[in-house]
Structure 1
Amino acid sequence: MPDVATVDALRLELGDLPQLDSLSDDAPLIGIIDSGVNDHPLIEDILVGAIGVPERLGTADEWGHGTRVGGVAVFGDLRAQLANGGLARGARLCAAKVVNERGEFDDRRLVPSQMREAVATLNARFGCRLFVIALADTKRVYDGGKVGTWAATLDELARELDVVIIVSAGNRAPRGGNRIEQAVTEYPRYLTEEGNRLFEPAGAINVVTVGSISHGNGLDARLGTEIAVRPITEEGEPSPFTRIGPGVEGSIKPDFIDLGGTMVLDPLVQRLRDGRDVASAGLLTLHHRPVEQLITSGSGTSYAAPILAFKAAQILTRVPDASANLVRALLASSAAVPEAAQARLAPLGDEAIRSVCGYGQVELEHAAFSDDARVVLYAEDELAIDHFAIYELPIPQLFQSTNGRRTIKITLAFDPPVRHSRNDYAGVALV
């Protein structure tokens, strides 16, 4: 089914947009650590502050990546919002610019020290407790051994500051063989190749790592009529560029998957095309030069990570004092692998499903709300080393006696101390 609405969305002008909602001054705050976030008519009133790390970088987003990531963090699935005729923002923003106009890190600073300064400053200055880092060291693929110092720094910060740090799994062009058509014919086998493991810092254990699934087949009205153009995915299937786990000591990574777009094979130009030049193949978000264009699109795990941050922000709206561990637990308790992804990966085995999808896609309604047929109970506590705790669950008589399927799901989240110099990276474990 071709996407016929996306092209219209890219042409929208300010007067054509639906009514924009207002946000309270105490709405959750998401920190975008990227190339900066520019003022944009749809977010300029909720962009509470920006810094450069180092300061000489300034705060203007010349590369464009940070504004696109920030747009997804605020609106979630913007395509769905526009289709429903409304624009509801889920969080306020603050930003730390850590890369230049080419998306490159500063030569005179180590990345871990930039990350520590950026996260700590946004936390201290603005009270930010949710962070999105949709950047990666593309020269360092996690091989199952020790994580790098970037990941270790994020693990330490998540524990020290009680913050939720969300990172993208990284992207990789499909590798199915030596012919471009094998991006379609070898999908999804190439996702499980050893070279498709996570990029640094996505192996960190106290942060939330997000891989990508497709929002659809990526065809627009024009491409849908071209017989030679072939989609790779359908809705809910793993994106052909997403990277996989497992993480440290076989831990489940990525933690979650969410919408990040897809690619299509266009043999007329002999290449794979994604949301950068075929808007229907990507997620809709904000353009960093709004005077030229309000809305743009893109594909990548860089967009799946802020989608999850949008959902985490809704949890903090409901439970403002929740610890980082509680937020992570509520996300995990509401996640499930989409049926389409399960069906597509099933021939490769259960391990492939875990490595590609982690715990699955978070269902926001289940994460943040109870209803008549489902209740969420939670407890936050501290446990001494070599001790255990016993919790009593009240089970209503109706739950015990009613016919039909009933489920109790239990989720534990904790943030162990880490030490990069040790072989046993995590200092403690839950057993």
Structure 2
Amino acid sequence: MAKKYHFEIPDKNISKKEINKNAFGESVPRDNYSEHGLSLKSSKELFKEHEFRKKDLQVLSDIFLQISTLDDLKIKNHSSKFENLGFKLISTIPDNQSIGNFKINNEKFQEFETKLDEYIYTEENKYKTYFAPIENIKPIPDETKVVSINLESTEKYNIIINFFSGLKSNEIFSLEKLLNSEFHDRDLEYSFCNISNKIVSVKSYLNGEEIKNILNEFNSIKDIQLNLDYYVTNCIKGDSINHDIIISPPSSSSAICIFDSGITTQGPIIPSFVRHRINSYLPYGTISPQYSHGTFVASRCIFGDNIEYQISQKKLDPYCYVIDVPVFGIDGSGNLIGMNDFDLSKVITEVIESLHTEIKVYNLSLGSPFSLTDNYRSHLANTLDILSKEYDVLFVVSSGNILSSLGQYPDEHFTHPNARIGSPAESLLSLTVGSIAKFDFESSVSKRDHISPFSRIGPGTDGGLKPELVTHGGNLVSPYVLAPFSRIATCGFFDDGISLAYDNGTSFSSPLVSRYSQMLFDYYPFANTNLVKALLIHFSEKREIFEDFDFDYKFTGFGEPNINKTIYADNSATYLYQGNLDLDNYDYVKFNIPHQFVNDQESKLKLKITIVYNPEVDINSPTEYSQTRLSVKLVKNTGRGHREISLSDSNNYFRQWSPILQFEKTFSRNFIDGEWEVALRLYTRGIIDPNYTQSYAIVIEVIDVTGKINVYDEIKNDQTLHYNSYENLANDINYA
């Protein structure tokens, strides 16, 4: 049977319509504006006395401070007034909406002082609209900058000092010189890192008193957090592989980059598919890569999930190559030595800067053993988001493993705080992958196609959906133990290169999504990362949680990707489009419903629509991290023209500021065939560029629920329509 391919929505099907914008604001009364101004002047002078002696203000053009309003006011509602005084809101306080952190340029601060005097001393209290909401101006408190550190402790902490983003490149250079002098004078070791002029940070080992001294000298410190360590595990050796096995040529010449413990150099199989080894990043104190975990992960990127079956058939079918970047090693005693948050971020940045034009998919089957809390993002997660946006690459990250039972399964186990994802799985723009079981027996903890008992769950640190996807990562035996040689474990290659290996974990589900992602980049060579993510998410099939549990995205996300459906169409019609939204116009994306839905009264129309975009992120603002969001409207064709319809009763995932939107809507009447539309609008926060555009990808699937209408053929054979089939643009690959 001939293969069917998805449809491309042509640019002529996209219309832009201007947005009518209205703005409103509150005014704040004061009993005596002049007295209020004198109070502000007093707090301003105290601020200057405390902060203007700090060393970094000698080389930076911005000053960082905290402004509060009256307790019953939301500071965000008045930020536009503060902008008229030169203050730019950079973050809000999660548990107090009347407080915000701001920055102001040196010159603007002097203008602010002049305006403040005019507010106090002019008869009409000039600028009172702007000043009246301000209750206090003060330094950002040190205690709000320090995370999980006791400043009174004499213990040395492995820390990362993060500076506010938005510094100019010449200022970063001057700041680095200043930091070098500061740490040298105090006889302290440190390491400096600048990632894309957006993440500026220092790693050091300091006690509480030393941390306080640094805070006293630098106004631009955003926060100081513990430098997390990352870990991987060893897998268990299985049977030897017979020498008579046939190895097919790889289906693709592409490669997936793997940051892990190293890929074996032994045996005739795995090394043949390692295109390049970058061994220069092994941690200090190691004598070689660890090989066990990384080889297992790489084998699943190359050969997929059914390695045992391929071995039994005496034929291995590789898909692609891999690039090996070992970031875990062993010392002379065989102990595992890994990397921390800071060092791993530097390594990944350097590799992406070098490889991004050639390599699109990067697998991170690693993580911190500690669960995350609301509004916290690790240094590494921030780094992955910055690099994802800047270089349009895709990071595939494991959700992490629950290492022991957390209580009665599943209720107490999965409601425990330690069941939540760990770093760097909170990365907003990465694909986070959890695990499901594919095999079970009487004593196994989980059932087939249910969440694996060890798979960490969401939500993300912003309350959004994590993990997005799940694939096979194994199962456990009751009460909560590994059964490595039973069929419920996952299979890969051992580090001797000639044996199978067995293990369980989200580390081994992630490579399957990396493999699928690479297939889509190969098949759709024009695709950006948004489209690849949208296809994987759209064509994922929901997976079960447990009996008596209501479905919740935080367990298994959108489900398990069906790679076949991402590439080839069935009887439904799927439209794909990649576009860019500006701030002034709606994008109306047009698609068609075939006439057969009107002719066949027993048919039932269903639309499934997935939208993925890659927002700018603001590492200064953990509560407002994503800087863009999209609103969506569906416009159907009726006998009386086009009409917008409500999506509130649809099966949907809509969360403001989330980079993924999805809804399903079913229709049985009150519509006609022909041209329908999806209307998209861009909103931003913290982005001041009026010319900013947001790239997005949209997948629109038209389905007959009854299965009577071959929707694909109806669209394909309609001579009045002009949709391109991707068979003319895509590379026909072997995706098995």
**Please, what TM-score do these two structures have when normalized by structure 2?**
0.49
Residue number among 231, 240, 246 corresponding to 2:453 in the alignment: 240
Q: Is the contact made by 1:53 and 1:117 (CA closer than 8 Å) also made in structure 2?
A: no
Q: Which amino acid aligns with 1:428?
A: T
Q: Which amino acid aligns with 1:244?
A: I
- Helix, strand or coil for the counterpart of 2:396? strand
Residue number among 241, 250, 258 corresponding to 1:32 in the alignment: 258
Considering only aligned residues, what root-mean-square deviation do their CA atoms show, in Å? Answer: 2.6
Residue number among 161, 167, 171 corresponding to 2:391 in the alignment: 161
Q: Is the contact made by 2:432 and 2:468 (CA closer than 8 Å) also made in structure 1?
A: yes
Q: Which residue of 1 aligns with 2:464?
A: 251
Change (3 A) 1:48 1:193: same
Question: How far off its partner does 1:382 sit?
Answer: 1.2
The alignment status of 1:231 with 2:441, answered yes or no, reads no
Q: Relative to structure 2, which stretch is displaced further, 312-321 or 47-56?
A: 47-56
Q: Which amino acid aligns with 2:353?
A: A
CA deviations 1:71-123 (Å, max 9, x no partner) are 11111112344466642222211111112224433479633212212333343
- Helix, strand or coil for the counterpart of 1:273? coil
Q: Which residue of 2 aligns with 1:322?
A: 527
The alignment status of 1:49 with 2:282, answered yes or no, reads no
The alignment status of 1:93 with 2:313, answered yes or no, reads no
Question: How far off its partner does 1:332 sit?
Answer: 0.6
The alignment status of 1:137 with 2:368, answered yes or no, reads yes
Between the aligned partners of 1:349 and 1:14, the Cα distance in structure 2 is 47
Question: How far off its partner does 1:188 sit?
Answer: 5.3
Residue number among 399, 419, 424 corresponding to 2:624 in the alignment: 424
Change (3 A) 1:54 1:232: same
- Helix, strand or coil for the counterpart of 2:580? coil
The alignment status of 1:407 with 2:630, answered yes or no, reads no
Q: Relative to structure 2, which stretch is displaced further, 321-330 or 404-413?
A: 404-413
The alignment status of 1:274 with 2:453, answered yes or no, reads no
Q: Relative to structure 2, which stretch is displaced further, 110-119 or 249-258?
A: 110-119
The structure with more radius of gyration: 2
Question: How far off its partner does 1:394 sit?
Answer: 1.9
Residue number among 523, 540, 553 corresponding to 1:335 in the alignment: 540
Higher strand proportion: 2
Q: Is the contact made by 1:148 and 1:200 (CA closer than 8 Å) also made in structure 2?
A: yes
- Helix, strand or coil for the counterpart of 1:250? coil
Between the aligned partners of 1:64 and 1:250, the Cα distance in structure 2 is 35
Higher helix proportion: 1
- Of structures 1 and 2, the one scoring higher in RCO (CA 8 A, sep 6+) is 1
Between the aligned partners of 1:59 and 1:109, the Cα distance in structure 2 is 21
Between the aligned partners of 1:44 and 1:418, the Cα distance in structure 2 is 38
Residue number among 293, 301, 308 corresponding to 1:65 in the alignment: 293
Question: How far off its partner does 1:142 sit?
Answer: 1.6
Q: Which amino acid aligns with 1:27?
A: S
Q: Is the contact made by 1:35 and 1:64 (CA closer than 8 Å) also made in structure 2?
A: yes
Q: Is the contact made by 1:35 and 1:103 (CA closer than 8 Å) also made in structure 2?
A: no
Residue number among 341, 345, 362 corresponding to 1:112 in the alignment: 345
Change (3 A) 1:136 1:55: closer
Change (3 A) 1:391 1:147: same
Unaligned runs of 5+ in 1: 1-8, 225-229, 267-271
Q: Which residue of 2 aligns with 1:194?
A: 417
Q: Which residue of 2 aligns with 1:3?
A: none
Q: Which amino acid aligns with 2:592?
A: P
Question: How far off its partner does 1:313 sit?
Answer: 2.0
Question: How far off its partner does 1:285 sit?
Answer: 0.4
Between the aligned partners of 1:83 and 1:250, the Cα distance in structure 2 is 44
CA deviations 1:360-385 (Å, max 9, x no partner) are 111111112113x1333211111123
Between the aligned partners of 1:385 and 1:79, the Cα distance in structure 2 is 52
The alignment status of 1:15 with 2:220, answered yes or no, reads no
**Please, what TM-score do these two structures have when normalized by structure 1?**
0.82
Change (3 A) 1:261 1:386: farther
- Helix, strand or coil for the counterpart of 1:379? strand
Q: Which residue of 2 aligns with 1:206?
A: 429
Q: Which amino acid aligns with 1:367?
A: T
The alignment status of 1:283 with 2:481, answered yes or no, reads no
Question: How far off its partner does 1:16 sit?
Answer: 4.4
Q: Which amino acid aligns with 1:153?
A: T
Question: How far off its partner does 1:258 sit?
Answer: 0.7
Question: How far off its partner does 1:238 sit?
Answer: 0.9
Between the aligned partners of 1:206 and 1:416, the Cα distance in structure 2 is 8
Q: Which residue of 2 aligns with 1:227?
A: none
- Helix, strand or coil for the counterpart of 2:586? coil
Unaligned runs of 5+ in 2: 1-236, 632-736
